[in-house]
Structure formats: C-alpha cells, structure tokens
Amino acid sequence: MKITIDDKQIETDGSKTILSEARDLGIDIPTLCHFEGFPPQTSCFLCVVEVEKSPKLIPSCATKPMDGMVIRTNTQKVLEARKLCLELLLSAHWGDCLSPCQNSCPAGIDIQGFIKLIKMGKYEESLALIKEKAPFPSTLGRVCPAFCEESCRRGVLEGSLSIRLLKRFVGDWGLKNPKSTYEVSCEATIQNPKSGKRVAVVGAGPAGLSCAYYLARMGYAVTVFDAQNKPGGMLRYGIPEYRLPKEILDAEISGLGLEIITGKSLGRDIQIQRLRRDFEAVFIGIGAQKSQRMGVDGEDSHKVISGIEFLKQVVENVAQDLGKRVLVVGGGNTAIDSARVAKRLGCDVTILYRRTRLEMPASKEEIEDAEAEGIKIEFLVAPTKVTDIGLAVSRMELGEPDSSGRRKPVAIKGSEFIIECDKIISAIGQAVDIPEGIKADRLIPAKIEPGCFSGGDCTTGPQTVVEAVSAGRKGALAIDGYLRGEVLGSEPYSHTKEGWTKDDLLETEERLKYKTDKVVPGDRGLSFSEVESEMTEDSAKKESERCLSCGCEKEDSCLLRKFATEHKVEPKRLEGEVKRIKPDISKVPIRLDSGKCILCGKCIIACLKIKKLSILGFVNRGFQAEVKPTFAQSLASTKCDACGECAKVCPTAGITAINA
C-alpha cells in the first residue's frame, strides 16, 4: 500500500505503526509512553497525528496505516493537542526541574550542584561549576543580594542555607589555588583564540567582563575597552572596601585573562561605527554611573555630592571635606554604602528616606549593619531645599501605590523643618550616562543593529551585580549565535513545586545554621577592613550538608521537560490539585516518586516483561491513581532486587536509581 507522511510518499505492507513509519523517515513524533517492542499504552496521547478526511486526531503509536492515508504530524491542530496534553500532565506534577535556589538566581548558577561538590570536598569541580555561569565567585560571594537564599526550602525549618558565603568559600579557594586544572584549561583557550573572529566589549563592569570572558572561552579574540583608569566598573568604584576588598576584585579580574584597554570612553575615544569596522561584533555594557538629581532648590551647592561620586573619590583617595555632620538622602544600597563610608571617615551620619523601612530597597542585612555601626535612619522624610545651614525637609505619609508597586510618599502640609549639616550625599538613584554622539535609543535593545549588542544597566536600568553578570553571559551567547548564523533556542522549561510548607519536611532532621562571623560594630571604627569573615573548610562542609537537593535527578534527560520546552507550555492555565506524595526510598538505590509519575505504565512493563517480576502496578482510580507495589506497600517489603530496569525506561523522574 501507499501512504503519505508530511508530503513524503512511501510504500508499506501495513505491519508497522504510523509512529514507526514516521521514525523510519526521520520524522520525530514525541511520545512519553511508547515502549519499543511492547504493546502500545496510548496513555500520554502526545503522539497524535492528523489524517486527511478524519475528524479526529489518532494516536500514531497504536494505529497502523491504511492504503492511501495522508498523514500530517505537525499541523496546528496537532501541536495544540500535544501542548494541552503536556499542560494537563504538568498541572498535577509535584516536582522541581531545577532547585528553587537555582530558579531564583539571575545567573542560573547550579547551586545544588556546587554545594554537593563542597560536601564531597571537590572544591576545584565546585569552582568550575560556578564559573560556568558566573566568572566572579569571590566577588559575588561578598556582594550578591542572594535571591537564592530567599527561596531556599530549608528556610521553613531552621533557616536558609548560607549560599552566598558557600560561593565565597569556593571562590576564595580558587584564588588561593590559581593553577587548578580547570583554570589552566580556560587560560589556554582564552590566550589562543581559535575562531579567527574578533569581538569588542565596551565597559569593564560585571556585564562587560562576563560577556568578554564567555566569548573568550568560546574561542573568540576579545578586546575590552573602559573609560576608567582601572577595570571593574561599579564593583570597583561603587562598592566600598569593607564589603569588597580591591585585592580580591583585582585578583578575579586578572584571573580572567582578558585584554583590557582602560581610559577609552565611548563617544569620545572610540565610536560604534569604528568598532563595527574593526570587529565582527560589539557588546555595549556601560553601567549606570550617573546620579539622579534630587530635584530641589539649591542642590548645586558645594554642600551636595552624589553618592556615586563620593564613593569613587574615596576609592581614588581624593581628600574628603565632609565636615562633622553628614546627611545621606536615599534608601538603596548606594545610600547605605555612602553612609557607612562617611561614618568610617569620622562623621556623624543620618540617612533620610521618604518611605518606611518596609519599602527600603537596600538589603536588610546592610541596613542592620549600618544601624549597628551607629548610623541613624529617619523614615518618612524627604528633602525640599538645600539651605546655607543644612537641608530643609518635609514629613511624609504614604498614599496609593505608584508605578513601582510601593505606596507613594505624600508631603504632610506644614511639617517642614531644617536639619543642620555640613554635607549632603544624594543617593536617590542611578542612570546611564549616555556618551556624547550616542543616541539613548541605541543603547536600549539587547541587539542594537546587526552585530552590535548591549546588556546590563544600559539596557535594563540599574540592577544588581548578579543580574549584570547574567546579562553579560546572555550577550555572549547571543553574539556567538549571531557569528555562527544560528538562532538561540528557548530557555528550558522549569517546573516548581508550589505551596511548599514545613509539613513537607516533617521527617527532615533540623541542623544548626551557620552564623555569619562579622567584626563587632564597636571594633569597626574608622577601619575599612572587611567586616565579614570567610567560612572555614569545616564550616563550609557542615553548611553544605544542610542542602535538601531539591532539584530533579533527571534535569537534563527528562522527556516531559524536553517536550514542555519545545511546545512552550503554560501549565498554570490548568492549575489544580497536585499529588503531594512523599517518595518511597525504602529500597536503595531505587527512588519511587509518585508526585512526578505520569502513569505511562512503562515501569510496570519493564518489571513484568524484562525481569519476570510483578512488583509494580496501578493502585486507586482516577486522579488518585498511582504506580506502586501491590496493596500500596513499600518497595522494601517486596521481592524487588533494585535492578533499575524500571528507572531506565521512566520518561520523567517518577522512578530513579539514586546513589546509595
């Protein structure tokens, strides 16, 4: 007989299924339940195809062709049906593709992985894993806001893991052991570019350096240009020594092995048009190093200095004439840093913030450290005018939410008063200082024009260091794709367990959380020495043992995740009840996790047909159905020999073979 599959006509004797015939033609039809050599299960319905003149979609794994059939495997109707099937499966899924800490890390660092390697004492491998996504582990280990810790599942017990400090431990180990196998390998690649193509990076801050580093590792010859005298951007000129020692920053930048040319400003010394002639691609990664104005009368007075300029002058050892009484206006990390630096220069410092502590954007830890060091914070106060003796301010009250989602501060009529001071540090926000000759709109899109890309603060506005690192790496991937003529694929789908509570960890042993070791406030005095101490090796190993390893064991091989990514699923459309079932780990190394099971039945077949055992089967009906041993007993109470055949055929992580 003759049939047609996606415009390819073939002759067949009708003994094979449509799925098999399509695969013989190199046409890939997705399926989760098909088990080659065994009868079809038709449980996942992903393999449906459309047959001409037939009103219904048919499962290709269970249907043999008929003479004259015209079959389509990728019509809109077929794709929508497959997407719906996947969304139905995921709507009841109780599992994590990635650990929640990795999901919340802007750089996508494999946090669970590098912590596991610390626990095993494999520091070189841990460092290498971190550097796959972030080239500054020591720096990030000191200044990252640690979004990951906010989502750490251990937080519902005795407290989140100290992920930031574990990253610092590994980074500092790397600085003490700079000639590790991994570092030598990277250095060789960077120093001997193989692609033959050159890329220019403008801006030696975290975005630009990250972009340059990953491009160099891909084999491109990269040159970095920066306007300042030394590389680092806001890492150098915006973060004080007591948080990030410059010797640490210098060591990490030096270790990247990049060609960096300083003192070259975009628009003045270098032009985009010239760079496009001399290089195959350009990345613009200039930061937000321009202070926003307070917008009050008298702010051009000699009494006022911007927080960014103030911090930069301290780094460059420019003499500071602050007087004794200093006011800092703002509530972000630049305001806190400016206040703590001024305090170390011997000043009496007060921070003025127009909202309440709850809305303050600075990190909670930094605010607490500032107060511990004797810095006063006045909330619900906003400047109105700079005077000869100080700063005129008004009391504020919070009104309706503004565009930021926070309640808008409104001045209270008749509440004006003057705070006497010698210096006012304005730190209310940052903006990109658009270079002369460059239009603002040319720095906004991630891809400016053919071969010219941008990322970091100049694209998004001021963000954190880790977000800039992420933008730089993504820029490198985009440039690599552009130079190779390839389009970047979608980010992999990532499922997350919703509604996690302490009840889900009732059987988990509570462990003592690592307590950050800091110099006591009274001893910080006028010193710019680092406040926070590094973890010892013993402490790092103990802290790493608290990790719950939330991520999926089959993160890279799960077919459900693969197809969900390809079909751009939206499972929240069908949100409903999930199976919150605790895994059966009674028969090491087998882990039976019914929350991740899609009821395809392949494990049941493998156990029965391959091992001649009847360990697994379906129990309960409808939504409550599960794959379990007979009478829902544990695996340990059966004749299971832990051969792992069931795990081999499982398309998800419903059954896996874990380490003993």
- Look at residue 443 in the predicted model and tell me its pLDDT: 55
pLDDT tens per residue, range 285-321: 998 888 899 999 999 999 999 999 999 999 999 978 8
The upper half-sphere exposure of residue 125, i.e. CA atoms within 13 Å in the direction of its Cβ, equals 10
The β-bridge partners of 396 are 411
- Using CA atoms in the order 45, 50, 55, 56, what is the torsion angle rounded to 10 degrees? -10
Q: Average pLDDT for residues 268-283, to the nearest whole number?
A: 91
333 in helix, strand or coil? helix
Q: Tell me the mean pLDDT in the region 553-560.
A: 93
43-47, 75-79, 574-578, 626-630: range with highest mean pLDDT = 75-79
pLDDT the model gives residue 447 = 58
The confidence score (pLDDT) of residue 442 equals 52
CA distance 186 to 128: 10
Q: Are 601 and 39 in contact (CB under 8 A)?
A: no
Handedness of CA 226, 250, 313, 244 (dihedral sign): positive
First to last CA, the chain: 54
For the residues 252-267, what does the mean pLDDT come to?
A: 94
CB atoms within 10 A of CB 215: 30
DSSP conformation class of 504: G
Which residues are CB-contacts of 181 (< 8 A; sequence separation ≥ 6)? 124
Residue 272 vs residue 258, higher pLDDT? 258
Residue 213, SS3 per DSSP: helix
562 close to 31: Cβ distance less than 8 angstroms? no
Q: Which domains does the chain have, with CATH numbers?
A: 2-74 (3.10.20.740), 188-289+432-484 (3.50.50.60), 296-430 (3.50.50.60), 559-657 (3.30.70.20)
Residue 362 in contact with residue 331, Cβ under 8 Å? yes
Name which of 95, 92, 87, 90 is nearest 582 in CA terms: 95
What mean pLDDT do residues 83-99 have? Answer: 93
Among 48-52, 56-60, 203-207, 268-272, name the one with the lowest average pLDDT: 268-272
DSSP single-letter state for residue 178: T
Phi then psi for residue 427, to 5 deg, are -140, 55
Q: Are 55 and 586 in contact (CB under 8 A)?
A: no
Nearby residues of 64 by Cβ (< 8 Å), 6 or more positions away: 14, 15, 16, 17, 18
> Is the pLDDT confidence value at 374 over 70?
yes
Angle (nearest 5°) at CA 547 between 542 and 548: 140
* pLDDT digit string, tens, across residues 420-463: 999 999 999 888 777 665 655 555 555 567 888 989 988 888 89
Residue 87 and residue 44 in contact, taking contact as beta carbons nearer than 8 Å: no
Residue scoring higher pLDDT (71 or 37): 71
Q: What is the pTM assigned to this prediction?
A: 0.90
How high is the pLDDT of residue 502? 83
Q: What is the pLDDT of residue 394?
A: 97
Please say whether the beta carbons of 213 and 111 come within 8 A: no
The CA distance from 200 to 127, in Å, is 27
Q: How confident is the model at residue 660 (pLDDT cuts 50, 70, 90)?
A: very low
| Class of residue 106 by CB neighbours under 10 A (exposed 0-12, middle 13-18, buried 19+) | buried
Query: What Cα–Cα distance (Å) separates residue 635 from each residue in 63, 258, 572, 587?
Result: 35, 55, 33, 6
Residue type, 629: P
Neighbours of 271 (CB within 10 A): 14
Which pLDDT tens digit goes with each residue over 5-42? 999 999 999 999 999 999 999 999 999 999 988 888 88
Q: Is the pLDDT of residue 506 over 80?
A: no
> Does the pLDDT at position 241 exceed 60?
yes
Name the strand (E) or helix (H) holding 482. helix 465-484
Q: Could you give the CA distance from residue 111 to residue 100 in angstroms, rounded to a whole number?
A: 9
Closest CA relative to residue 354, chosen from 327, 393, 380, 385 = 380
Instruction: Give DSSP secondary structure letters for 70-137.
Output: EEESS-HHHHHHHHHHHHHHHHT----SS-HHHHH-TT---HHHHHHHHHTT-HHHHHHHHHTT-S-H
The predicted structure's pLDDT at residue 49: 97
What is the helix (H) or strand (E) element at residue 310, kind and residue range? helix 307-315
Could you tell me which of 39, 35, 30, 146 has the C-alpha nearest to residue 82?
A: 30
CA gap 628, 189 in Å, rounded: 51
Burial string for 459-476 (b: 16+ CB within 10 Å, else e) reads bbebbbbbbbbbbbbbbb
Which pLDDT band holds residue 653 (cuts at 50, 70, 90)?
Answer: very high
